[in-house]
Structure 1
Amino acid sequence: MTTKAHPLLSWSPEAVVFDCDGTLMDTERHWQDARSQVFRQFGLRPLPGFAERAKGVHYTDCGRLMAEESDKPHLAPELTESLLHHFMALVADDPVTMPGAAEFVRRLSGRLPMAVASNCPLEVVETSLDRAGLLHHFGHIVVPDEPSAAAAPGAAAVRPKPWPDVYATAARLCGAQPDEALAVEDSMTGIESARRAGLRVLGVGPRPGEEDASRADLWVTTLHSPVLLAWVRAHVPQQGGSAEE
């Protein structure tokens, strides 16, 4: 089935929730560089395929994974702290948007509620989006709770992807039922999170194997896709207006 004939492109969502790393911001390479720096710093070597296993994983889980796969579980706290330190330094120096992301966000802005659901720390998401000139387009930024916040008595913790919490929370804050909201994601971890929350999913980036690609409702290689821009004009009306511009 071609993208032009795809059912998702005849649907009008009530909200759009974006992932940040690798979807809006070209920061996945910063995570890769940060992981490499940490491995070198501690004299460790990643196992084959580690980069794919770590993609989209919350940084605390990534630090633990690095420690476990290096057979150094006791180093998990130090690896996690170092990973975040290196990443924040890298992303502060080089905030770059993914191809087509800025234009796609701007075309959607003002038409329907938008949010970001990310596994990154809130400071990183807000700073990178602000420096890219995109932060003001989003009504809500949802990230996992830090351990101290999650432990607050009576508080419902927002768990990281692949748990559904960040996407479920973002859809609710946008005033949309999950099945009426669209998630935009580049990683299998994020796609699993969005699907578990009940959102429809637009996958973006280099197309993975067919089994993984089928977990998204539709897969495009870039948000600059002409069919997506046509979809915005036809099926995402201006607030208070018609579908046509």
Structure 2
Amino acid sequence: MTAEKLLAWTPAAIVFDCDGTLMDSERHWEEAREMVLREHGTAPTEEFAQRTKGLHYRECGRMLAEFAGHPELAEQMTGQLLDAFRTLVAENPVTMPGAPELVEKAAAFAPLAIASNCPRDVVEDGLAKAGLLRHFGHVLVPEGEMRPKPYPDVYLEAARLCGAAPGDALAVEDSHCGFLSASRAGLRVLGVGPRKPVDERPPVDLWVDTLADPDLVRWAETRVA
């Protein structure tokens, strides 16, 4: 689907990522990773920061332990990562530009869901504090046998719970890990945020710098429920 066709289309459901897409919390993850590595005598490189963006927190904790030269401390460092992140979010929950307005407009014409790699309490608490949680019928996170992004599980289940076939649903994502998850599930993908170099072309149907993009806002305003 081309960008022009996407902006002429009304999805049967919209599934949003949370961190870095709706909530300005990716910076909190970055700071939390730095805090944990500092406690273990090292600091992240830019390349490491990019590799860990959007990953499930357990995978991120494992990578932190390996990067610090202490793979045996993966579980401990995962716990430290979550503790630091929860503290930072509680101190400063902030939405991304245009997120509240787009979510409110989208909820008027399509069922909405969240698909995140974060713990459920982190996602729901942050969205609740931002006044956005009430717009979402479902919050999907990797639990039980559900695998984290970049596997397609959370997006497949989110579309199903919204009553939409994957190909009739739209994913809104900011990370390459998330793009892969959504596209593997068969959803159309709206990428948001600054474009960063990756080894492969991201599977995105349309890319905007911000959810406040005028064309995107106009699209949401002209959909019919």
**Superposition TM-score, scaled by structure 2 size:** 0.95
Match of 2:16 in 1: 18
| Mapped partners of 2:43, 2:127: distance in 1 | 32
Mapped contact 1:47–1:69 kept (Cα < 8 A) = no
| Mapped partners of 2:167, 2:111: distance in 1 | 15
Pairing 1:36-51 to 2, within 5 Å after superposition: 36-51=34-49
Could you tell which deviates more after superposition, 37-46 or 116-125? 37-46
Query: 1:165 is matched with which residue: 136, 143, 153?
Result: 153
Deviation at 1:45, TM superposition (A): 3.1
Q: Relative to structure 1, is the Cα distance of residues 227 and 213 closer, same or farther in structure 2, using a 3 angstrom cutoff?
A: farther
Larger radius of gyration: 1
Match of 2:190 in 1: 202
Could you tell which deviates more after superposition, 189-198 or 211-220? 211-220
Query: 2:82 is matched with which residue: 81, 84, 92?
Result: 84
Please tell me the residue identity of whatever aligns with 1:66: L
Mapped contact 2:176–2:202 kept (Cα < 8 A) = no
Q: Relative to structure 1, is the Cα distance of residues 68 and 181 closer, same or farther in structure 2, using a 3 angstrom cutoff?
A: same
Pairing 1:98-177 to 2, within 5 Å after superposition: 98-145=96-143, 150=144, 157-177=145-165
Runs of 4+ in structure 1 displaced over 2 angstroms? 44-48, 207-214
Mapped contact 2:40–2:68 kept (Cα < 8 A) = no
Please tell me the residue identity of whatever aligns with 1:56: G
Q: Relative to structure 1, is the Cα distance of residues 213 and 95 closer, same or farther in structure 2, using a 3 angstrom cutoff?
A: farther
3-state SS of paired residue (1:49): helix
| Mapped partners of 1:203, 1:221: distance in 2 | 8
Is 1:179 the equivalent of 2:167?
yes
Percent identity for Structure 1 against Structure 2? 56
Match of 1:237 in 2: 224
| Mapped partners of 1:69, 1:208: distance in 2 | 22
Mapped contact 2:21–2:173 kept (Cα < 8 A) = yes
Query: 2:52 is matched with which residue: 49, 54, 58?
Result: 54
Gaps in structure 2 of 5+ consecutive residues: none
Q: Relative to structure 1, is the Cα distance of residues 69 and 95 closer, same or farther in structure 2, using a 3 angstrom cutoff?
A: same
Mapped contact 1:203–1:213 kept (Cα < 8 A) = no
| Mapped partners of 1:212, 1:134: distance in 2 | 33
3-state SS of paired residue (1:76): helix
3-state SS of paired residue (2:7): helix
Mapped contact 2:105–2:220 kept (Cα < 8 A) = yes
Aligned length: 224
CA root-mean-square deviation: 1.6
3-state SS of paired residue (1:184): strand
Deviation at 1:13, TM superposition (A): 0.6
The Cα offsets for residues 149-174 of structure 1, whole Å up to 9 and x where unpaired, read as: x2xxxxxx111100101111100000
3-state SS of paired residue (1:115): strand
Mapped contact 2:155–2:182 kept (Cα < 8 A) = yes
Please tell me the residue identity of whatever aligns with 2:206: L
| Mapped partners of 2:67, 2:219: distance in 1 | 44
Gaps in structure 1 of 5+ consecutive residues: 151-156, 239-245
Match of 2:180 in 1: 192
Deviation at 1:110, TM superposition (A): 2.6
| Mapped partners of 2:129, 2:106: distance in 1 | 19
